[in-house]
Amino acid sequence: MQVKMFNKITILFVFILFAAAAAAETIPAAPGSLALKAGWNLISSPTEEPILSTVIASYCTITAGPYYYDTSISPKAYKKSDRIQAFTGYWIRVEKACSVSVGDTDILEMKSLTLTKGWNIISGIGDFSDWEGCTVLGGPWAYSNSLNAYNKETVLTPSKGYWVRVADTCTLKKKAVQEVITVPLPDLIVTDLTLVPEPPIAVNYPFSFKVTIKNQGAARVWGENIAIRVSINNQEVQTFNGKGQWLEAGGTMTFDFTDPVTGARITRTATGVYTITAEVDVYKGVLESNETNNKLSKQFLVS
């Protein structure tokens, strides 16, 4: 008799523990569903189609609501609704945690939303900072059922409702996306600068140079529009223009001034280390994608 009584008590105790655990457990929301927690919830429809309160009642025990905040009347007031629609927040109270099946129809992007001066309960999708048209004085505030408190959020979830306060009646709309049009441009650089003869160079001995430029951009440029300057220790030696032909994207031009008759004849009268620089597009006559990479410098010794 004692054994039977012990077994009954044990079974009853286990059943109570199981029931308590089941009651405390938060029921996870299935895909395509709207999760509600026991007590008050501030929600919205995550689909384009409204969710009828009769549908919610088939999944949950509703003890109050749904209520929406009517801003079209003065003073503003809560009104009961027979459905929950997208982009509007609703208060609803349920007896225990439940999950409402809402199908697989995702909410479409919100184009605009009219708000009334003061507080509004709205819903939406995406980053709130992507919206403009209203002077926002407060919010978006979402209600946390578990904390019984409001949390400020910056990213809107379509299944939630949010308190937002605005300075005046206005239309909240998505910021216009600025279309960036990329125009193909040339990009001129100096790829090689060679002295002839090779350094070291004797004092008063004549020398000359060869310069190679490249168009590493995405558009061709007319050669005669390109000005190239060669300088030594920041003193101009020679400035010249490119050839009368197209310098295609990816193409190169070489300018050789080493001819003993027509070429450049440069001398230095003192020993030391010198810096020779070649700069392409020196007068900025060509619109380039990069205007900061036009120079190439080398040091050489005169002994």
Specify if 180 maps to a domain. Answer: no
Q: Check which CATH number belongs to the domain holding 205 and give it.
A: 2.60.40.10
- φ and ψ of 244, to 5 deg: -80, 65
Per-residue pLDDT of the chain (303 residues; tens, 9 = 90+): 443 433 443 333 333 333 333 333 333 444 467 899 999 999 999 888 889 999 999 999 999 989 999 998 889 999 999 999 989 999 999 999 999 988 665 666 677 889 999 999 999 888 888 888 999 999 899 999 888 899 999 998 888 999 999 999 999 888 877 677 788 999 999 999 999 999 999 999 999 999 999 999 999 999 999 999 999 999 998 888 888 899 999 999 998 888 776 677 899 999 999 999 999 999 988 999 999 999 999 999 999
The CA-atom distances, in angstroms, between 22 and each of 25, 95, 146 are 5, 14, 17
Q: Please give the structure tokens belonging to residue 222.
A: 């007319």
| Domain carrying residue 90 | 32-174
Is 75 found in the same domain as 42? yes
What pTM, to 2 d.p., does this model score? 0.52
Is 133 found in the same domain as 70? yes
Please say which residue of 121, 143, 174 terminates a domain.
Answer: 174
Q: Please give the structure tokens belonging to residue 249.
A: 């994207």
Is 243 found in the same domain as 145? no
Strand ordering across the sheet containing 208-215: 188-196, 208-215, 252-256
Strand partners, 236: 231
Structurally, the chain folds into a number of domains equal to 2
Specify if 4 maps to a domain. Answer: no
